[in-house]
Amino acid sequence: MCVWRWMGVVLSLSILGCQMREVQPTFKNECGILRSNVDWSNRMKVLNLLSLAFSQKCDAAVIEYTEQVQSGFRDKTFSFSREMAGVFLSDGVLTEYVLESYERAYLSLLLAASYLRTGHIEDAKVELRRLDHELFAPLYNFGEDPVNLVLSAVLWEVLNEPGDARTDWFRLAEPTSSFLLHVPPALQSFAQKQVIRLDQGARPTPRWEVYGVGRFPEVDWDFKLFGAPNGYFVIHPNPPFQELCISETGLRLSTESWFAKIAHRHDHAYHPLLNIQSWIRLPVGVVYGLVPFSLGVGVAVGGCAGAASLGGRGSGDVCALSILGGTQLMQVAPTVFQNTVRPDLRHWELLPAAIIVTQKSDLGSEPCDSHQARLHHLVTHAPAPPFRS
């Protein structure tokens, strides 16, 4: 019986990975299986299982394992031997994945939402304060982002903490001069309206509903030696993100700012060590690529030379076969080069492509609804009573 249930979990995860529209899993009541099959050696799988557990409202599993992930995946452990050996292999092969700031913040957000769903209000507030710390802490992977600031502001309002909500809205309305934080003017204007509303005090709090919709796109990259903003990598999403949408009742904000953190991973101003390692890895990749190319040339030339020296009626066939084999080896060279110099693009995959914050009880009636499948319903009930001045 357990085998069949586990096969159901694997099948559902396969569906999630292959079909963009079908974000929501098709199985129910599998929280026990999710909790008993966590492979901590595969950090990406653990993160995706947490996302899946939250979508299934397995709040006990989310609360238990998120705390372990926060402590275990947060800090970078430097090893001189690993860092040196890593330049001779693909980026990230010898190093454990370390959470980006947006991933640490979103983990805190999921945990806060799980506490909220289970009635642990004070614990939810603690996690939101941790979220704030994760965005601004000067760690290995650092930097705030507008998506988590919006989510934090809304959840503070749901928790009837207008002062904390105002702080996050104000950060969006008056963003700091950081190359990692870009707040579109339309979002700044929306946030400014929320600041004014909170300052007035007497107006009722909106009945916010918050959704994570769609699926975070795949990360593609191309090699570009000159003119690339991040070393020699050009990184782009597939498919592209949707545009920002602002309505009278809410907004749709893509998680493109999260994607930007992946794209900036090898920027010299962000991670000098990764940038230097990538440039060292470039000539190593050229040398590795020359090996199959040289072997291919040797097979083609040597085979034809040997066939000619032996003579005979079959020498032409031997030469043709040598050329074919040599050509196949030479064609491997670009693949070897790319696999050597490819950047570390690991990331939490099962994340929404956008968030929708709305006052509408029915998402379909929100003008900014993108009609994508729902991954996470972050606020699932009416907020606290209106606060008063």
Tell which residue, 34, 37, 12, 33, has the closest CA to residue 24: 12
Report if residue 369 sits inside a domain: yes
Report if residue 131 sits inside a domain: yes
Tell which residue, 349, 348, 355, has the closest CA to residue 374: 355
Report if residue 384 sits inside a domain: no
pLDDT of residue 36: 66
Per the structure, the count of domains in the chain is 1
Alpha-carbon 118 to chain mean position: 27
Distance CA 184, CA 187 (A): 5
pLDDT of residue 72: 86
Record the pTM: 0.80
Q: CA angle at residue 141 from 139 to 146, to 5 degrees?
A: 105
Report if residue 308 sits inside a domain: no
pLDDT of residue 354: 96
pLDDT of residue 18: 41
pLDDT of residue 358: 92
Report if residue 170 sits inside a domain: yes
Low-confidence ranges of the chain (pLDDT < 50): 1-28, 381-389
pLDDT of residue 223: 83
**Structure-token match 């990764």, residue found:** 274
Distance CA 303, CA 308 (A): 9
pLDDT digits (tens, 9 = 90+) for 65-108: 898 898 888 877 767 777 788 788 888 888 888 898 899 999 99
Report if residue 122 sits inside a domain: yes
pLDDT digits (tens, 9 = 90+) for 285-343: 888 889 989 998 998 888 888 888 877 666 778 888 889 988 999 999 888 888 888 88
pLDDT of residue 12: 41
| Domain, as residue range, for 373 | 29-214+242-264+355-379
Report if residue 223 sits inside a domain: no
Kindly state the DSSP code that residue 230 receives in the 8-state scheme: B
pLDDT of residue 134: 83
Report if residue 284 sits inside a domain: no
